[in-house]
Structure 1
Amino acid sequence: MKARARSSSRWAICLTAPSPTAMPPRCRRRTPMPELQSAWTPTPEQQAAWQQWCDTPGPRAHVARIALHGQSDPAAVDAALGALRVRHESLRTAYIDNGNELVACVPQAGTNGAATAIAAPGDAPSLPALDPATGDVLRACISPLPAGGATLWLLVSPLAADRGTVLKLAENMRDALDAPARIDGDEELPLQYAQYADWQQGARLGEDGTGSAGRAYWQAQAAGLPAPLRIPDALAGSAAAQGSDTWRHTLHGAHRQALAASARQFGTTPERVVQAAWWTVLARLCAQPVFSGAWLHDCRRDYDVMADAAGVFVKALPVSVAWDAQRSVAEHWRAWLPALDSHAAWQEAWQPGEAAPRIGFAVAPLPPAGVAMASPAWAGFDLVCEALDDGQGMAALALHARAGVLHPRVAQWVLAHLAALIGTLPAALDTPLESLSWPADDTLRVPQCWTGETPVDAGQTLLARIAQHARQTPDAPALDAADLVLDYAGLQRTVQGAAQRLRALGVGPGTRVALALPRSGALVASLLAVWAAGGAYVPLDPAWPQARRRSVLAQSAPVLTIAQQAAHDNATVIRADALLAKAAQVDGEFASAQEDAAYVLFTSGSTGEPKGVVVGHRQISHYTAAVCEALSLASCRRLGLTSSVAADLGNTTLFAALWQGACLTVASDDDMAHPAAFARYLRGREVDAIKIVPSHLAALLETDAPAVPATVILGGEPLPASLVQGLRRHAPDCRIFNHYGPTETTIGVMVHAVGAEDPAWPAGTAPLSRALGATRVRLLDDALRPVPAGVAGQLYVGGPQLAHGYLGRPDLDAAAFVDDPFAAGQRLYRTGDLARATPAGLQLLGRADQQVKIRGIRVEPAEVEAALLAQPAVAQAAVCAAPGPGAAAVLCAFIVPASAGSADTDALRRALAAMLPDAMVPSRLIALPALPRLPNGKTDRTALRTLAASPDDIAAAAPQAATASADAVETLVCALMAELLEQERVDPHADFFALGGHSLLVIKLVARLRRRLQVEIAPGVVFDRPTAHALAAAVREHGETAGELDARALTALNAAPQAAVAA
């Protein structure tokens, strides 16, 4: 290579800063071109480095901190700096914008640079920004130490040096000041950066005949680059953190030996083995097998002649990673490592990409003793693993992260496990990636098995507890409902009398009784009576369609049904009021045994039919005792039942109230219909604890004066930080708990108390940090092996709360309940829920199967698909969840019509509503000419989820014939519907439910209409009149004069709709 002076170049680049006020001087003014010693166009490495620094907040300079034990006077420092500038012309180079290009030039006038400054003792320097336009790219500051010696701060422009160069310069400065006699002033000068720039440009332009081939190589790499690696939010630190963080882990002799052996086996270098191990760890940690990253490669490691050169040599070369969990480590690495050889061979032709991956790997010299970097290590990158070379091999690993990207304990875990993987080489090379054994490590202080902190006393049944309260506190309120108010003595008499009648009707152990009752006092007393008679209850939600009720009744085969009205020709149906009438005499005390079944709850089934989960009294006792202890529910004396007992979510307050002798207050359907009624219920009944689905509660808070009880337990779906913040605004002292548990594990197995520091959850939803009682919660892989902290796995639950099994379905039992490999003779329930362990607790990630949760209700898409395929108009069907309004999940169904033309989606929706519960009726029905297929012929559900999440595609499925609203009220209704549906506009004649509306959005819509128009509208009106046009007419029927309603509507509308109406 040879130097070539150039005062201009058509290859010059113009490097811009983010904003005028943040621009360094060379970007804000034109500096006259001095008489040059040499000039060149800044290299692609300089271009990329400078742009990354411009995009990073803070000073645009590398800062090194050097501990001095020798000379520390400014004159000696200036002399040492001068010697460095003479040795490396890149340190006296100016970067000048001459109007149409940026030129790097070295003036003929000697060495330039500001004199060394002196800072106050012990202080870090506060110096003016470097000015590359004048050649001010290297500066120093001395800070004396109180105990003697000094700290030397070295500032270097990113245009003049990369991290490796700065560390070398810092070492040179330390040596020059600590032992001047060791410095040889006559040694041969190293390669100059201008020579490197000239050689590189020649290679890039094809002066050696390879330019076009190199460009083609990198274009092909860019075209095939997968999505960048993404660090899961659950592993992040504080979102408010600023700056950067660094962690280090030492590699010992065994690590070096393992690296050397593996490098020989693969015919590569130890540093590339470390890089392969780094991407392997990240692939598993992030559960992202295919991704792209950046190899921050310093070409000085490839060319001996460049070893001592100073400048910017690091290139962010893009790398693609694709891991197959079932292939061995060696198979992957043998296929992947040659790509690094190809990259290195074509590195001179590299040009920085528009959007380089922000997670990388680098190799750098181990910082010498007394030298440390005090500036962000890798500006423009979120996370970089740096292998540190001490000249004898890889001596340490450093992890550099933009503040907040990784939780500190996660970062330590990553380093520890990367070192562990390196240490097990080459023995682990033949191990499949999914079978890599991660050694136990307490860095994150996360257990391999979550279990309760204290044992609980669950020896009594709930009925025995009620009987005890009736003896000890007979006058204490037990039940407060609109239809029934009882103290504990009265509740005991009523339950025992009804149990005696049920026994006479054939109810006993091993039998089942259906409860076809709304949420009421009669429902509570009836289910307790069924227990006292020895039977198990089967709840039938009154909102279910007849087809669903018939399916549940056929499977459960109850001996009796308790209902509000008894059919005159059906002897197996008894009225609740007759059952609960006062008994003339009760012969003895009826009760169930702990081993008896208590209830059968039917959940959505993947076979197209619901499946019944059988739960016993022992499981209920353990859960109730454990949740009362973990949540300190003894302080709650009036607990609200606000959910359907056809799902077990509401059983938390139902059982907890009666377990501890408190009062159960039962909310009617009207109490839960709209926010104002809900607030009246909470205040009027003095409710101090509720259990509810987050999205339901969010809808019920939509009122000017919401009521929030002292304790709120949220479950059934992820708890978002936004809801917690809203609750805190309304009730700062409210106790908030996140609650989790499948029906098969009896209501709940894990909770999290939302503390004052929450909700600073990186993932945006609450974690789970505590197991209940003696339950055992494990995070396992497909082979039932524990997964490392931070790695995604499936939740398995064991312990005393596991359900008996599925009613009459031993095949489902065998699939869902497996032998516990950690406890002989015990079972584990395979939940299907994916999660990862984080410092804050378990973070739920979604499902391992197709099951989804819609408004807190488990839905198997296969059951909905079966209902669709039962319709003659449907030839094919596929169902998936999609993001809905407010990020809540909604059900989206894709159908292929049986005949040509469009399907009648309204008719299909009505047919499904007659067969399935409300949560299982798709919010969106989209007709397609054909379902997308994978190469193996299976339905491409990923493509369907992408289609379902596309607003453009969803909008295309909605009615297209938009018409203008006729008046202000109709315009306001359209605007409110559009706001709730998160759509730009809503046609006045479009069906609210066909556009994605559902019952919770109805609650919000009615609440907003009440606030804006001051009219009372029941939610049922929206179901009867689901278009904006029809609903506006209903509002006028319920409201005051047309003029007053129009005036209120105009006031509520934003400027654009007002103008439209006025026109």
Structure 2
Amino acid sequence: MQNISIEGFQISPQQKRLWQLQQAGDRQAYIVKLMIEITGDINLSSLESSIQKVINRYEILRTKFSTIKGMSVPLQVITENNDFQINKIQNYHSKPTIFNLENGSVLDISLTNFFQNKYILIITLSAICGDIISLHNLVQEIFTAYTVKELTNEPIQYADISAWQNELLVGKEAEIGKDYWHKQNIYHLIAGKLPSEQSSTKPLAFNPQAININLSPDLINNLAVLANEDAEKIATLLMSSWQILLSRLTGEIEIAIATCFDGRNYAELKPALGLLAKYIPVSCAFKEDSTFAEIWQQLNTKISEIEQWQDTFSWEDIDSQELFLPFAFDFNSQPHQYLADNITFTVQKQHACIERFKVKLSCWLKDNSLITELHYDANLFSQGDIERLAQQWQTLLSNAVKNPETNVGKLEILSPLERQQLLFEFNQTQSAAPPYQCIHHWFEAQARSTPNNIAVVFEDEKLTYQQLDTKANVVAQKLVSLGVKPETVVALYIERSLELAIGILGILKAGGAYLPLDPSLPPAAVAWRLHDAQVSVLLTQRHFVHLIDQNQVQVLCLDADIQLSNPQLHPVGSKNLAYIIYTSGSTGKPKGVAVEHRHLLNYLNGILEKLNLPISANFATVSTFAADLGNTAIFAALCTGGCLHIISSERATNPQALADYCSRYQIDCLKIVPSHLSALLSSEYAQQILPRQRLILGGEACNWELIELVRKYAPNCQIFNHYGPTETTVGVLTYAVPTNAKSGKVPLGRPLANTQIYLLDKYQQPVPIGVTGEIYIGGDSVARGYLNQPEMTSDRFIQNPFNHTPGARLYKTGDQARYLPDGNLEFVGRVDDQVKLHGFRVELGEITAVLSQHPSVREVVVVLREDNPGQKQLVAYIVTHQQTAIDVHELRSFLKQKLPEYMLPAHFVQLKNLPLTANGKVNRLELPAPDKVRPEIAAAYIPPRNEAERIIAEIWQEVLAVEKVGIYDNFFELGGHSLLIIQLSVKLQQKFNRNISANDIFQNPTINALAKYLSQTDNQQSSSLEQSHERAQMRQNFVKRTAEAQRKQRGKNKTNL
């Protein structure tokens, strides 16, 4: 075999770097270019001859790049001559120059004559052969050759520079330099991302574009004055403002930007041609109280330090999957004009791309002017995104120059127009208030209008509006006789039933405020709430009376005859208390949220406007009434002539029973937590369960897979995503999912009537579109505050700085979101959902969002665990579609394509369903440790003894993902929860052809007990008070085991949608 040899020189480290970047297929992007205006009577032949002389002087202009098999990088091969000819063009807006580095020229020069004695000379050089200073030096050489004719000095050749640069990267001094760069620890700063960046599932070619930024003369003058006319200080001042803006937009407290160093730090190298410049990471850390002046000084010091070590920096030493830094900066102040007796060369425009980036700020100090541009990858950003970014940079720079001692976090970055849009245009929600003082007045008006319409249904029981109004009046009169008046809190300790609606309306009519209490609460928790709310009267049902301390409160049973009385009802106003809802508190004690009538009236007015349902629609509520989640259906139905269907907890967790009910009553509107609905739709009854017209999803984040599932089974049903914390009355944001919407995150939407939303940073300043901020809520739905907790109320309910109306307040939610360009909000996570791991800041919501994109993942939650002291690790809990087994290796590979290494979970735990709190939200405290997918089984293992027990055991093993189950093992101790009960009941019904409810499983929590129950020929359930007591006691025992975890979790997940 014939050996092929190439005579050439080793390429420089910069050339090697650029060659590797070009392998992505975007070679034409990496060029340097100047546009020179030539004024005077030019001799084209002499100009061509002068250029040829310069080409003959400089080997780099006559260089080609050759590789042979087995070589990963080429050699630079210098040709003896390069016959050159100027391209004559009609205009300077020509097609991009594409260089053939292996066989063609690396230099292109074009000329156009657009006026008499005025020409445009365009010089384009492949970036692998030169940088922007190379072109300025080249212009000076051409000008000198044209005007002086003789070029006597011997130039330094790039091949020699290349050999010297390679030597600098080996040896003892190089090791010292590498140690310096290793200590800079910039590796974790490489994967930065601006909020407006578009994501892609596949690698994209580099497509750099640019826009001009027109700085005002006043701003340029102020810059020069502040920097004492020093070009280097002007450069670091501009760089400081750029890094601060990037920090503000990304939320990172440390930013590294690729900064261009010219590589000519020796006098001999100043006139050299060739690629000497390189982009070096310059990091800047922002402290809580850093001022602009301090950051500027920090960068001046950093740049001086890096200049000493720039020759030993190499991208090959960067241990990262990313090939480049996302943010870049360059600055130069090269001479731009060359004068002779009868001719002038003036550099008008310049362009250099010798490094890949996502966004780059490029600055050129040209006499007394400052030319600034934003270069960007058009595959990642739209021009509108970059124009907005440019405006934000100008605003920040202007403020920083005027106020250099200002904290960097407080520097304004919003233009007046963007500020107007965020604060006012996105909050145009003014709407006329309903003509009622209280919520029950609205109901009473409706009862007079439609007295014979069915108002409420529970199982086979129903009441008309007139009947409901009458019964509520009786309760109200009795309560008044017991001392209830405005601001009196009356507790409702009751199961879902007709009495629920009667009790709520009766309390409101009496002037009181209702406090709903879930009967599953432990007695101590009930007693604490009664004491905290100073409850003097409690409404309940007879089978719960024995659970109440009647020395603490007066008890009135709604399912017993109430003696008629006729006291005068008290007048009630819009500012009187309507209800109290307890949510978990960070201190471990729940806090009562006090909501007034006007708040509830405003919410109802806004949500009805969005739902736009016809009169007499059927509403269903399937959630606990101890949270305000169900208030959407309760009051929307009873104030519009609709029918409220109160679904029992047993039916709500039994897909077949719920489907039968929904089919029988033709439910029009259903509000439900997404994870609850997802579990129900996993059954064969999905189509019958879904409502006919409106589905409202809330209480937790909604994934797109659920939207698609609903569309599949109910294509004509309008889907709403609904968000709002209890402190702002049920909900404040609504998003109607468009029928033609494609996959993606489901937005939270826009504010309801008379509600304002502000996304603010830690200084309570508005954040730009796309930037994550904390949600602050203002308007007519903001609750009174927390009961008996003035300090916490003043901390979370603050004065509204954007509304000067007396008493206007904002509620600080602790939730994070970002604005989409159309004004919709997109949920990001909790303020406390941000963790630090090995020095890295990790947004758990980001990992969750990426995992959710995997086709096999149905639901996912990621947490930071510390099961062993000092050993923190990310754990992903995953529910897959159709319960397919997860492939950990495949998941890791999938994540590595989208996330940096430090954001990859250490463990992946597959679950049948995510555990939920009583409010239907993910209970993170019940997520199992990665090495223990279920609790230890207390009971001794006894295998199944007959066919029924064997079938039940197999179903339990499948549902609970347990290898073996004993007949005396408790379902709930094995990890069973409300959503698993749904799956269990479905599978048991399929095997035994029996309607098995959640209540049956509560009563028979072991295989032995359940098999005996199923073997009985008489399936009728006893309705005695003793059995009711046992059922209630069993539920309380179950809840007691997880009550503490639920209380802690509700503080994090108290928003109701």
State TM-score, norm by structure 1. Answer: 0.72
Q: 1:384 aligns with which of 360, 381, 384?
A: 360
Match of 1:1000 in 2: 979
Partner of 1:319: 282
> Following TM superposition, by how much is the alpha carbon of 1:879 offset from its aligned partner in structure 2, in angstroms?
13
Structure 1 residue matching 2:477: 3-state secondary structure: helix
The amino acid across from 1:839 in the alignment is P
1:541 aligns with 2:499: no
* Alignment check: 8 A CA contact 1:54 1:60 kept: no
What is the deviation of 1:610?
Answer: 1.2
* CA deviation string 1:408-440 (max 9, x = no partner): 555333322222232234432211223323454
CA distance in 1, matches of 2:976, 2:263: 58
Aligned pair in 2 of structure 1 residues 702, 350: CA closer, same or farther (>3 Å)? same
CA 108–804 in structure 1, closer or farther in 2 if over 3 Å, else same: closer
Give the Cα–Cα distance (whole angstroms) in 2 for the partners of residues 98 and 204 of structure 1: 25
* Distance of 1:1013 and 1:139 partners within structure 2: 83
CA distance in 2 between counterparts of 1:53 and 1:522 reads: 74
CA distance in 2, matches of 1:567, 1:992: 26
Counterpart position of 2:808 = 826
Is residue 2:632 matched to residue 1:652?
yes
> Is the contact made by 2:817 and 2:826 (CA closer than 8 Å) also made in structure 1?
yes
Q: Compute the displacement of 1:401 (Å).
A: 3.5
Is 1:33–2:5 an aligned residue pair? yes
**Which residue number corresponds to residue 1057 of structure 1?**
none
Indicate conservation of the 8 Å contact 2:814/2:831, yes or no.
Answer: yes
Using the alignment, how far apart are the partners of 1:1035 and 1:59 within structure 2?
74
Cα distance change of structure 1 residues 851 and 415 upon mapping to structure 2, 3 Å threshold: closer
Q: What's 2:429 paired with?
A: 453
Q: After the TM superposition, which residues 129-528 of structure 1 pair with which residues of structure 2 at under 5 Å, given as runs?
A: 131-134=100-103, 137=106, 159-161=128-130, 191-205=156-170, 210-221=173-184, 223=185, 225-228=187-190, 230-231=192-193, 235-237=196-198, 239=200, 243=207, 246-264=210-228, 268-299=232-263, 302=265, 309-353=272-316, 354=318, 355=320, 358-363=325-330, 380-390=356-366, 394-401=370-377, 403-404=379-380, 406=381, 409-438=384-413, 440-443=415-418, 446-448=421-423, 451-460=427-436, 461-528=438-505
Q: Which 5+ residue runs of structure 1 have no aligned equivalent? A: 1-28, 856-873, 889-911, 927-950, 979-984, 1040-1063
| Residue type at the aligned position of 1:458 | P
SS of 1:236's partner is coil
Query: Residue by residue, what CA displacement relative to the aligned partner does 1:743-792 show, whole Å, maximum 9, x if unpaired?
Result: 1221122323333564665xx35244x22222333334455444455554
Q: Quick one: distance in 2 between partners of 1:663 and 1:122?
A: 73
- 1:410, 1:790 within 8 Å by CA — same for their partners in 2? no
Query: 2:466 is matched by which residue type in structure 1?
Result: A
The SS at the match of 2:374 is: strand
> Displacement, 1:741?
1.9
Structure-1 separation of matches of 2:46 and 2:729:
76
| Higher alpha-carbon deviation: 361-370 or 489-498 | 361-370
1:154–1:256 CA distance, 2 compared to 1 (3 A): closer
Q: 2:542 aligns with which of 555, 561, 565?
A: 565
Please tell me the residue identity of whatever aligns with 1:576: L
One of 872, 882, 885 as aligned partner of 2:878: 885
2:681 paired with 1:718: no
* Residue of 90, 107, 112 corresponding to 2:60: 90
**Cα distance between partner residues in 2 of 1:54 and 1:964:** 65
Say which is worse superposed, 915-924 or 732-741, in terms of deviation: 915-924
User: Equivalent residue for 2:1045?
Assistant: none
Q: Which residue in the other structure is 2:18 paired with?
A: 49
CA apart distance, 1:324: 0.8
Q: Which letter maps to 1:667?
A: I
Determine if contact 2:916/2:978 at 8 Å carries over to the other structure.
Answer: no
Q: Are the equivalent residues in 2 in contact too, given 1:672–1:678 (CA < 8 A)?
A: yes
> Do residues 735 (structure 1) and 697 (structure 2) align?
no
> 1:1043 maps to what in 2?
none
Residues 796-815 of structure 1, C-alpha deviation per residue, up to 9 Å, x if partnerless?
Answer: 33332222222223333233
Match of 1:16 in 2: none
Corresponding residue of 1:906: none
Instruction: Kindly provide the amino acid, as one letter, of the partner of residue 48 in structure 1.
Output: R
1:601 aligns with 2:564: no
**What amino acid maps onto 1:236 in structure 2?**
E
SS in 2 for 1:739: strand
Distance 2:622 2:1000 in 1: 22
Query: Is 2:926 aligned against 1:923?
Result: yes
Contact 2:917 2:923 in 1 (8 A): no
Superposition deviation, residue 595 in structure 1: 2.8
Structure-2 separation of matches of 1:660 and 1:150: 78
2:792 aligned residue: 812
State the alpha-carbon separation in 2 of the partners of residues 150 and 756 from structure 1. 58
Matched residue of 1:593: which SS?
A: coil
Shift of 1:463: 1.7
Which moved further from structure 2: 304-313 or 546-555?
Answer: 304-313
Q: Which moved more, 1:235-244 or 1:832-841?
A: 235-244
Q: Distance between the aligned counterparts of 1:230 and 1:426, measured in 2?
A: 26
Q: Secondary structure at the match of 1:457?
A: coil
| Amino acid corresponding to residue 288 of structure 2 in structure 1 | A
Counterpart mapping for 1:631-650 below 5 A: 631-633=611-613, 637-650=617-630
**Structure 2 SS opposite 1:299:** coil
**Which secondary structure state, in structure 1, belongs to the residue aligned with residue 651 of structure 2?**
coil
**1:492 is aligned with what amino acid?**
D
**CA 1:922–1:204 in 2, change beyond 3 Å: closer, same or farther?**
closer
Q: 1:918 to 1:104 in 2, by over 3 A?
A: closer
* Cα distance change, pair 66–704 in 1 and its aligned pair in 2 (3 A): farther
CA displacement at 1:400 relative to structure 2:
1.1
Amino acid at match of 2:304: D
Contact 2:510–2:569, Cα closer than 8 Å, also in 1: no
Q: Secondary structure at the match of 2:781?
A: coil
Structure 1 residues 793 and 364: alpha-carbon distance in aligned structure 2, compared to 1, 3 A threshold: same
Q: Distance in 2 between matches of 1:786 and 1:365?
A: 34
Paired with 1:244 and 1:556, the residues of 2 have a C-alpha distance of: 63
Is the counterpart of residue 670 in structure 1 residue 678 in structure 2?
A: no
**Could you give the per-residue CA deviations for residues 192-226 of structure 1, whole angstroms, max 9, x where no partner exists?**
432321232243345xx8434323322333x4654
Deviation at 1:462, TM superposition (A): 2.4
Is the CA contact 2:653–2:979 (under 8 Å) kept in the aligned structure 1?
A: no
Residue in structure 2 matching 1:576, options 554, 558, 576: 558
Question: Structure 1 residues 79, 394: closer, same or farther in 2, change over 3 A?
Answer: same
Following superposition, the deviation at residue 323 of structure 1 comes to: 0.4
Could you tell me the percent identity over the aligned residues? 26
Letter in 2 for 1:766: P
Q: Deviations over 1:1020-1048 (max 9, x none)?
A: 6777899xxx7799799979xxxxxxxxx
Where does residue 1055 of structure 1 map in the other structure? none
Q: 1:1023 & 1:118 partners in 2: Cα distance?
A: 86
Do the aligned partners of 2:208 and 2:375 also contact (CA within 8 Å) in 1? no
Query: Aligned partner of 2:978: which letter?
Result: S
- Alignment check: 8 A CA contact 1:190 1:309 kept: yes
Letter in 2 for 1:105: Q
AA partner of residue 826 (structure 1): A
**Structure 2 partner of 1:931:** none
Shift of 1:398: 0.8
Deviation at 1:251, TM superposition (A): 2.4
Contact between 1:93 and 1:104, CA under 8 Å: does it hold in 2?
no
Residues in 2 aligned to 1:394 and 1:518: alpha-carbon distance in whole angstroms: 73
In 2, Cα distance between equivalents of 1:32 and 1:964? 78
Question: What is the CA-CA distance between 1:482 and the residue it aligns to?
Answer: 1.3
**What does the per-residue CA deviation read over 1:74-127, in whole Å, with 9 as the maximum and x for residues that have no partner?**
x999999978865653344232334454442324453389999999x9999799
Question: Which of residues 582, 602, 607 is equivalent to 1:622?
Answer: 602
Matched residue of 1:578: which SS? coil
- Structure 2 unaligned residues grouped into runs of 5+: 40-44, 337-345, 836-843, 846-866, 882-914, 945-949, 1016-1057
Residues 619 and 746, structure 1, Cα contact 8 Å, conserved in 2? yes
Indicate how the Cα distance of structure 1 residues 191 and 913 shifts in structure 2: closer, same or farther if over 3 A, else same.
closer
- Could you tell me which of 72, 81, 90 is aligned with 1:110? 81
Residue 748 of structure 1 pairs with residue 709 of structure 2: no
DSSP-derived class of the 2:169 partner: helix
